[in-house]
């Protein structure tokens, strides 16, 4: 859209052609889209293939009303310019569009705008003009536009582009600025020089302005690591060769040994690293919107257009890699183009699915761990409650045995008293019988130890201690049980028989709890024989070896167990006794099973009940043989 103001030798041929075409055109009858369709004429400054024109046209068509009838003309600047070209063109356009004048004209680029301003009177005097792609430097304060000529100027952001270049190339010490030879190129040069003069920093600016293309390319090929190039491209080189600015940048990028930055988004993909760029498609869109509003009836003065088009920071990722620039230096908000999609963006759905599966799996694992932890807490609580119940039950048993135990302690205490009195009498008699005194004292000591032993075992049974899992000797544990029960059996006129008991076995577990089981079973047996004649009040406690363990049995000669009671014996609160609580056997089962054992009851063939407790053995006798589980 931007164009120089100079004519070109080829213009002569063109003029002849245009004159011929004009004559024919006078005879033309324009084929209208429809009588009602608004007609919009778009006049481009340069040729059809200028990338800025292509992009601007695309943006324009995106926003123009669909029903608008569009006509397009190209001034082909800078190749065709000058006063006579203006005249021929005006004649041509008036002839072509005389019978179908446009409702609005779009002037794409400064050449088209200034041509229209110069020739408006001879063309379409009262038709509003919307300009697009005209640099603000072309619209300085001395250019006064009529109220019905409006548009949003673009700004060529050299300062922003230089800033970006130095940011991505912080080691650069030379700033090379390339411009062309056409009037528009010269105008860019003027602005660029003004912008560069404001630069304060360590870089040296070097202009390659209006030189032949070959010279420019040679100079660019000789640049070193410390240089960076900024350019708006050129329309015309110093030898009068015309190219599009995009093409000029492609040539520069091929030759240069330093990175190049540019000011138009049409340069992207040509080899430039990037820049603060004019977005020509957006420019076209804004112009199209303005035209649409004019066609809709809005007066030109009421459009309230912005003062300028903003530029956008654009970066070519491939060039960042090529020049080994720091990606972190790319400003936030810059549009990075040509970056290959990351694995995540390419396989987004798969990644989301995998992440979801992972999250679900993690949640499941966390849930299972929490559940396991909760179960462990519950198990610990149950264990604690069991131990407390067992302890409470032991206290109840001790309460039951209180009378017998008092008797058991009283006996040695009575013996101690008698012995003390005998010693006293011996001393009072004045007889010198030290041997007798020694015997008495030994007796006192023995009885004291006996009373102390009863208290020790009783204390072990009463003590509320944590459940212990330790190896213990079965026969020692049985001896304690015998001592605790002996008086009670005597009180109840029952006979307690311990045997047969083989060589000791070592069990692992809580000795007190196993003793508690045996005491319970023995007391139940005593209850069972309570009403029998004396000769049948016998309770037998025996031990049998079996592979990997022992079986303790407590049997009596009582009435046995009624068949209907057998399945409920070990249930909590099952009791057939008047004051029974029905907890003894259920606690016994809990204790035995927590030791990896088994408890069961049966009626003996000769009458009476037998309760058996099977427990695994850790060590048998002195031989260390592992217990079966």
Q: What's the closest the beta carbon of residue 521 comes to ligand ADP, in angstroms?
A: 7
Of 151 and 584, nearer to ligand ADP (C-beta) is 584
Q: What's the closest the beta carbon of residue 391 comes to ligand ADP, in angstroms?
A: 16
Of 67 and 388, nearer to ligand ADP (C-beta) is 388
Q: What's the closest the beta carbon of residue 588 comes to ligand ADP, in angstroms?
A: 7
CB 159 within 8 A of CB 194: no
Q: Which residues contact 352 (CB under 8 A, 6 or more apart)?
A: none
C-alpha to C-alpha distance for 467 and 265, rounded to whole angstroms: 82
Q: Does 584 bind ligand ADP (CB under 6 A)?
A: yes
Q: Site residues for ligand ADP, window 244-303 (CB under 6 A)?
A: none
Strands 174-179 and 227-231: parallel
Pick from 476, 531, 577, 607 the residue near ligand ADP by CB under 6 A: 577
Beta bridge partners of residue 546, listed in sequence order? 549
Q: Does 581 bind ligand ADP (CB under 6 A)?
A: yes
CB 430 within 8 A of CB 479: no
Q: Does 585 bind ligand ADP (CB under 6 A)?
A: yes
CB 230 within 8 A of CB 167: no
Of 254 and 571, nearer to ligand ADP (C-beta) is 571
- Options 192-200, 426-434, 519-527, 621-629: segment touching ligand ADP (CB under 6 A): 519-527
Of 193 and 612, nearer to ligand ADP (C-beta) is 612
Beta bridge partners of residue 105, listed in sequence order? 41, 129
Strands 598-603 and 69-74: unpaired
C-alpha to C-alpha distance for 9 and 123, rounded to whole angstroms: 26
Q: Structure tokens of 236?
A: 């015309």
CB 494 within 8 A of CB 539: yes
Pick from 37, 47, 71, 575 the residue near ligand ADP by CB under 6 A: 575
Looking at residue 305, the DSSP 8-state letter turns out to be: -
Of 25 and 529, nearer to ligand ADP (C-beta) is 529
Q: Is 108 helix (H, G, I), strand (E, B) or coil?
A: strand
Of 189 and 556, nearer to ligand ADP (C-beta) is 556
Q: Does 558 bind ligand ADP (CB under 6 A)?
A: yes
Helix axes 11-26 and 83-97, enclosed angle (nearest 10) = 20
Of 387 and 609, nearer to ligand ADP (C-beta) is 609
- For the CA atoms of 500, 502, 508, 510, the dihedral, rounded to the nearest 10 degrees, stands at 30
Pick from 574, 598, 604, 619 the residue near ligand ADP by CB under 6 A: 574
Scanning 347-494, the segments in alpha helix (DSSP H) are 348-428, 434-462, 474-491
* Residues 593-612 as x/- pattern, contact with ligand ADP by CB under 6 A: ----------------x---
Q: Does 576 bind ligand ADP (CB under 6 A)?
A: yes
- Options 77-85, 385-393, 577-585, 590-598: segment touching ligand ADP (CB under 6 A): 577-585
Q: What's the closest the beta carbon of residue 543 comes to ligand ADP, in angstroms?
A: 18
Of 346 and 534, nearer to ligand ADP (C-beta) is 534
Of 169 and 589, nearer to ligand ADP (C-beta) is 589
Based on the number of CB atoms within 10 Å of its own CB, is 63 exposed (0-12), middle (13-18) or buried (19 or more)? middle
Helix axes 83-97 and 110-119, enclosed angle (nearest 10) = 80
Numbers of helices and strands, H then E, in the chain: 16, 20
C-alpha to C-alpha distance for 496 and 608, rounded to whole angstroms: 15
CA distances to 226, 570, 571 from 564, in Å: 105, 13, 13
Pick from 525, 592, 617, 620 the residue near ligand ADP by CB under 6 A: 525
- Options 66-74, 238-246, 395-403, 558-566: segment touching ligand ADP (CB under 6 A): 558-566
Q: Does 561 bind ligand ADP (CB under 6 A)?
A: yes
Of 223 and 461, nearer to ligand ADP (C-beta) is 461
How many residues bind to ligand ADP according to rule CB under 6 A? 21
Q: Does 569 bind ligand ADP (CB under 6 A)?
A: yes
Residue 627 backbone dihedrals phi, psi, to 5 degrees: -75, 145
Pick from 138, 524, 538, 540 the residue near ligand ADP by CB under 6 A: 524
Of 98 and 560, nearer to ligand ADP (C-beta) is 560
Pick from 258, 387, 528, 592 the residue near ligand ADP by CB under 6 A: 528
- Rounded to whole angstroms, the maximal C-alpha distance in the chain is 173
Pick from 556, 589, 590, 613 the residue near ligand ADP by CB under 6 A: 556
| CA nearest neighbour of 58 among 133, 116, 129 | 133
Q: Structure tokens of 514?
A: 């196993």
- Options 46-54, 140-148, 330-338, 518-526: segment touching ligand ADP (CB under 6 A): 518-526
| CA nearest neighbour of 497 among 549, 541, 550, 462 | 541
Q: Does 613 bind ligand ADP (CB under 6 A)?
A: no
Contact residues: ligand ADP, CB under 6 A: 520, 524-525, 528, 556, 558, 561, 565, 569, 574-577, 580-586, 609
């Amino acid at each position: 859209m931007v164009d120089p103001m100079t004519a070109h030798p080829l213009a002569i041929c063109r003029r002849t052609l245009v004159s011929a075409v004009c004559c024919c055109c006078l005879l033309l009858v324009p084929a209208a889209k429809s009588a009602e369709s608004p007609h919009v004429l778009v006049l481009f400054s340069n040729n059809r293939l200028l990338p800025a024109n292509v992009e601007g046209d695309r943006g324009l068509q995106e926003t123009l009303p669909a029903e608008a009838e569009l006509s397009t003309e190209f001034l082909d600047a800078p190749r065709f310019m000058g006063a006579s070209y203006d005249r021929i063109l005006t004649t041509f356009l008036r002839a072509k569009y005389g019978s179908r004048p446009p409702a609005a004209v779009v002037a794409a680029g400064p050449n088209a705008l200034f041509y229209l301003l110069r020739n408006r009177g001879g063309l379409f005097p009262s038709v509003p003009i919307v300009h697009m792609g005209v640099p603000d430097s072309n619209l300085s304060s001395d250019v006064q536009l009529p109220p019905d000529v409006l548009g949003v100027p673009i700004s060529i952001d050299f300062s922003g582009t230089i800033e970006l270049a130095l940011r991505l190339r912080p080691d650069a010490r030379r700033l090379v600025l390339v411009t062309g030879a056409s009037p528009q190129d010269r105008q860019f040069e003027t602005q660029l020089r003004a912008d560069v003069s404001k630069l304060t920093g360590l870089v040296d600016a070097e202009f390659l302005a209006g030189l032949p293309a070959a010279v420019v390319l040679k100079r660019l090929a000789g640049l070193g690591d410390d240089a960076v190039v900024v350019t708006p491209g050129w329309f015309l080189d110093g030898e009068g060769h015309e190219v599009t600015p995009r093409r000029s940048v492609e040539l520069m990028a091929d030759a240069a040994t330093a990175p190049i930055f540019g000011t138009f988004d049409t340069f992207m993909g040509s080899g430039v690293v990037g820049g603060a760029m004019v977005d020509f498609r957006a420019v076209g869109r804004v112009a199209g919107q303005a035209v649409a509003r004019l066609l809709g009836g809005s007066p030109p003065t009421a459009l309230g257009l912005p003062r300028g088009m903003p530029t956008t920071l654009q970066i070519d990722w491939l060039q960042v890699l090529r020049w080994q620039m720091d990606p972190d230096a790319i400003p936030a908000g810059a549009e990075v183009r040509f970056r290959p999609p990351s694995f995540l963006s390419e396989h987004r759905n798969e990644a989301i699915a995998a992440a979801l599966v992972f999250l679900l799996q993690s949640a499941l694992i966390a849930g299972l761990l929490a559940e396991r932890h909760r179960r462990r807490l519950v198990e610990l609580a149950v264990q604690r409650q069991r131990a407390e119940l067992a302890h409470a039950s032991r206290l109840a048993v001790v309460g039951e045995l209180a009378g017998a135990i008092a008797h058991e302690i009283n006996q040695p205490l009575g013996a101690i008293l008698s012995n003390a009195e005998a010693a006293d009498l011996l001393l009072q008699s004045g007889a010198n019988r030290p041997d007798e005194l020694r015997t008495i004292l030994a007796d006192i000591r023995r009885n004291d130890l006996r009373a102390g032993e009863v208290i020790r075992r009783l204390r072990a049974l009463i003590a509320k201690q944590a459940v212990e899992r330790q190896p213990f000797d079965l026969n020692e544990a049985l001896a304690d049980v015998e001592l605790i029960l002996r008086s009670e059996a005597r009180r109840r006129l029952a006979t307690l028989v311990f045997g047969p008991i083989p060589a000791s076995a070592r069990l692992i577990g809580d000795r007190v709890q196993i003793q508690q089981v045996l005491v319970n079973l023995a007391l139940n047996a005593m209850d069972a024989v309570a009403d029998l004649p004396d000769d049948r009040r016998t309770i037998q406690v025996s031990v049998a070896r079996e592979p990997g363990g022992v079986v303790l049995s407590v049997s009596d000669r009582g009435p046995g167990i009624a068949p209907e009671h057998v399945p409920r014996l070990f249930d909590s609160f099952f009791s057939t006794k008047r004051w029974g609580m029905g907890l003894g056997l259920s606690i016994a089962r809990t204790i035995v099973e927590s030791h990896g054992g088994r408890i069961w009851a049966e009626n003996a063939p000769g009458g009476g009940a037998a309760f058996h407790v099977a427990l695994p053995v850790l060590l048998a006798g002195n031989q260390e043989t592992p217990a079966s589980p």
